[in-house]
Structure 1
Amino acid sequence: MLRFTVNLSLLFTELPLSERFQAAKQHGFDAVEIQFPYSLPVEQIRDLLDQQDLQLVLFNVDADTLLQGGEGLAAVPEKRDQFKAAVGQTLAYAERLKPSVINVLPGRCLDPQRLGEYQTTLCENLAYAAAAFADLGIKTVFEAVNSYDMPGFIVDTSQKMLDALKQIQHPNLFMQYDIYHMSRMGEDYAGFLRQHLDKVGHIQFADCPGRGQPGTGDVDFDSLFDIIATSDYQGWVGAEYRPTADTAASLAWFKTYAVK
């Protein structure tokens, strides 16, 4: 089964965030995701979702300065308290918005000599988040990000995600599998999904190498979406790409695959 969401942080950016909900609905989506929703009050987001009859599937725990080149929150030993405060902020939003999954970005380690310490902190924080969101019936996911776009990222391969899951062993912790990032790392994403979809709580996609919409790169979306559609995967599939033109012109893929 294929259930698509559209990421409002990357698509429909021709509009202010508050207007992207209506645009998503007008183009046929019933669900959306947002990387970081905290620029809008939670009650405003709740109203926007209700007005358009949309479900908010996913958003992220705050990651501090990660997107500006910093290390983020989830793996930095000195930021444990800040990470827990960020989880508290996310819980407040999640109680009203009722997402299916919450994503934790592992972040970077910019001092290779401290990598082991960062990995330990990450596992502790992922376990903390998984327990916190379990109380709301919300899955916790974490994702690997390619080391070309984000050098120093703690988790940059599928195997590192599997290793973390094995170490933490929390029943509410899953992988967020991003086709773009793993394709950028040269991985066999199709083979991985065939073998490990039971450990995946959310899927995101963009074409590779340019991170544009399907059809702009090398990803075989016919095969990819067929694997998902014919599997037992019950989660959502999120469009998280950067449109090469305006968003509406990038949505030909949705007309093709939404009926699978």
Structure 2
Amino acid sequence: MPRFAANVSMLFGEHPFLDRFAHARAAGFSAVECLFPYAHPAAAIRARLEDAGLRLVLFNAAPGDWERGEKGLAALPGRERDFRDGIARALDYAGQLGCPRLHVMAGLAPAGIARDTLLATYAANLAWAAERCAAHGVKPLIEPINRRDMPGYVLNTTGEAAAIIEAIGPERLGLQFDLYHTQVTEGDITRRFEALLPLITHAQVADTPGRHEPGTGEVNWPYVFDRIDAAGYRGWIGCEYRPAAGTEEGLGWFAPWRA
């Protein structure tokens, strides 16, 4: 049966961040994920997780200066020190919060830098991060992101991601398969999911085209979830969507899988 984790950076935005954990539990989730936890002390987040009886299953490494438009550092030449500092900070949070997975963002391609240079930097940084994360019992993940939502993002297709993971080693680096981004960029999401299953460590969901909850767009989600389950995927599926009209109001799709 599919296991869903509420993304508390995007869901329950009607409440302050630290209060969202209790609301996620009340809504029937047994696990959560988030984008960036760093605005709050790890101890404060841990207390909310424990109070709600929730597991934190994923968050992102520091992306650089998000407020100024940075979307990750892993592929950016000259930012290696900042990248490593961000991984160290993320692993400190992961250790305190018991989180086993870390999404490592590639970043936006700077003007004038050859793609081969970006990919070489990306591979070197990911190999370093994979070694460091393994020593802490954490698995780093990469995620293709569509260029409609994030123009200029370095990693866009599941095929590109699979090649990088195979080069570094699937035991060291995993695929974060976001069904929304894949549908926008490539389509054919169930067949791609099944083909890439050995590499997939975490999945995420939102409907297209609006990135709202399942059932608000073009995808036949009961069919998709049945296919994912039948394929043997036993990881978490993060609910990383923007509620169309309030989080609780849009959770009807989740009723069959409530904890």
Name the TM tier (shorter chain).
Answer: over 0.9
Worse-superposed segment, 108-117 or 209-218: 108-117
Aligned with 2:131: secondary structure? helix
Q: Which residue of 1 aligns with 2:90?
A: 90
Aligned with 1:14: secondary structure? coil
With structure 2 as the length reference, what TM-score do the two structures score? 0.95
Amino acid corresponding to residue 22 of structure 2 in structure 1 = Q
Alignment gaps of 5+ in structure 2: none
**CA RMSD of the aligned region, Å?**
1.5
CA contact (8 A) 1:127 1:170 kept: no
CA contact (8 A) 1:3 1:258 kept: no
Q: What is the CA–CA distance in structure 2 between the aligned matches of 1:34 and 1:71, rounded to whole Å?
A: 15
Q: What is the CA–CA distance in structure 2 between the aligned matches of 1:124 and 1:223, rounded to whole Å?
A: 39
Write out aligned runs for 1:173-252 (5 A).
173-252=173-252
User: CA offset at residue 32 of structure 1?
Assistant: 0.4
Worse-superposed segment, 250-259 or 235-244: 250-259
CA contact (8 A) 1:177 1:202 kept: yes
Q: Which residue of 2 aligns with 1:76?
A: 76
Write out aligned runs for 1:59-138 (5 A).
59-66=59-66, 68-70=68-70, 72-111=72-111, 113-138=113-138
Amino acid corresponding to residue 175 of structure 2 in structure 1 = M
- State the identity as a percent: 37
Amino acid corresponding to residue 190 of structure 1 in structure 2 = T
Change over 3 Å in CA distance of 1:170–1:238 after alignment to 2: closer
With structure 1 as the length reference, what TM-score do the two structures score? 0.95
User: CA offset at residue 237 of structure 1?
Assistant: 0.6
Aligned with 1:45: secondary structure? helix
Q: Which residue of 1 aligns with 2:55?
A: 55
User: CA offset at residue 112 of structure 1?
Assistant: 5.2
Q: What is the CA–CA distance in structure 2 between the aligned matches of 1:93 and 1:100, rounded to whole Å?
A: 11
Deviations 1:71-124 (A, max 9, x none): 531111110000000000011111111113111111110325422111111111
Q: What is the CA–CA distance in structure 2 between the aligned matches of 1:130 and 1:153, rounded to whole Å?
A: 21
CA contact (8 A) 1:37 1:59 kept: yes
Amino acid corresponding to residue 12 of structure 2 in structure 1 = F
Change over 3 Å in CA distance of 1:29–1:232 after alignment to 2: same
User: CA offset at residue 198 of structure 1?
Assistant: 1.2
Q: Which residue of 2 aligns with 1:6?
A: 6
Amino acid corresponding to residue 221 of structure 2 in structure 1 = F
Amino acid corresponding to residue 38 of structure 1 in structure 2 = Y
Q: What is the CA–CA distance in structure 2 between the aligned matches of 1:152 and 1:31, rounded to whole Å?
A: 32
Q: What is the CA–CA distance in structure 2 between the aligned matches of 1:170 and 1:226, rounded to whole Å?
A: 25
Q: Which residue of 2 aligns with 1:169?
A: 169
